[in-house]
Amino acid sequence: MSGLFDLSGRRAFVTGANTGIGQAIALSLGEAGAQVICAGRSSMAGTLAKLKEAGATGFECLTDFADKDAAIKAFERAAETHGPIDILVNNAGIIRRADALDFTEADWDDVMDVNLKSVFFLCQTFARPILNSKAEGTIINIASMLSFQGGIRVASYTASKSGIAGLTKLLACEWAGKGINVNAIAPGYISTNNTEALRADQQRNDDILKRIPAGRWGEASDIGGAAVFLSSKAARYVHGAVIPVDGGWLAR
């Protein structure tokens, strides 16, 4: 049974892998046997150290996903340097907060460029050689609870994550029969650097925990496990799914 989740011989490109959910996904894929190219704007030293400690192989790829052309070139260079990539995890993302009436065009464009535009064109760049060679591959997009809900004061983030859900389904419809599995993970409230302020606010922390049936914040490794599943043979007939890993948040 364990062979279903063995990723030996696979090569993954994980964006936003320097910390938090991206780091946990990179580590989980590495522990399952994949070579992992860790991509993002910041140093990947911490992630590479964790991969090495786990006996896994990792590489650094520095690029800014706000520039889709730079992102594409970085992916292409990584494939040329390390070999064909058959797992793509689109995790890199940013957020801007303001009331809808005060939301600026710059805050709209900045978020959409990273969270949706670069994601689409990375998927396109990833898929082209796989489809041309009739090989197989896996795309995992990182969605959000705001792929299902509206939220407040995060107009472009909500739009981008709703877009990720739709894009995941569209690409699955086009590529499921051609050897590429396209799915998404929608994390719930996860204990990372990005949620530190929420957890430090006692009232908000308590309100959030009351809504989570599991009674706790998620760990980044919870998302890593889902990524291993979606990358593995166990998920070969899973296409176009947006899988909540949320402790039951959406069920309440």
Asked whether residue 164 is assigned to any structural domain, the reply reads yes
What separation in angstroms does the CA of 26 have from each of 68, 102, 133? 22, 37, 26
Sorting pLDDT into bands at 50, 70 and 90, what band is 1? Answer: very low
Q: Report yes or no on whether pTM surpasses 0.95.
A: yes
Asked whether residue 72 is assigned to any structural domain, the reply reads yes
Asked whether residue 18 is assigned to any structural domain, the reply reads yes
Asked whether residue 23 is assigned to any structural domain, the reply reads yes
DSSP-assigned letters across all residues of 44-109: -HHHHHHHHHTT--EEEEE--TTSHHHHHHHHHHHHHHH----EEEE---------GGG--HHHHH
Point out the least confidently predicted range of 10-19, 51-60, 196-205, 243-252. 196-205
Asked whether residue 26 is assigned to any structural domain, the reply reads yes
The pLDDT tens digits for 125-162 are: 999 999 999 999 999 999 999 999 999 999 999 999 99
pLDDT of residue 20: 96
Counting the structural domains of the chain, the total is: 1
Whether the pLDDT of residue 243 is over 70: the answer is yes
Task: For residue 59, give its domain range.
Answer: 2-243
Asked whether residue 36 is assigned to any structural domain, the reply reads yes
| CATH number of the domain residue 196 falls in | 3.40.50.720
Of the residues 157, 175, 189, 249, which is catalytic?
Answer: 157
Asked whether residue 248 is assigned to any structural domain, the reply reads no
Q: Confirm whether 189 is a catalytic residue.
A: no
The pLDDT tens digits for 33-87 are: 999 999 999 999 999 999 999 999 999 999 999 999 999 999 999 999 999 999 9
The residues, any chain, with a CB within 8 Å of residue 173's CB and separated by 6 or more, are 240
Asked whether residue 249 is assigned to any structural domain, the reply reads no
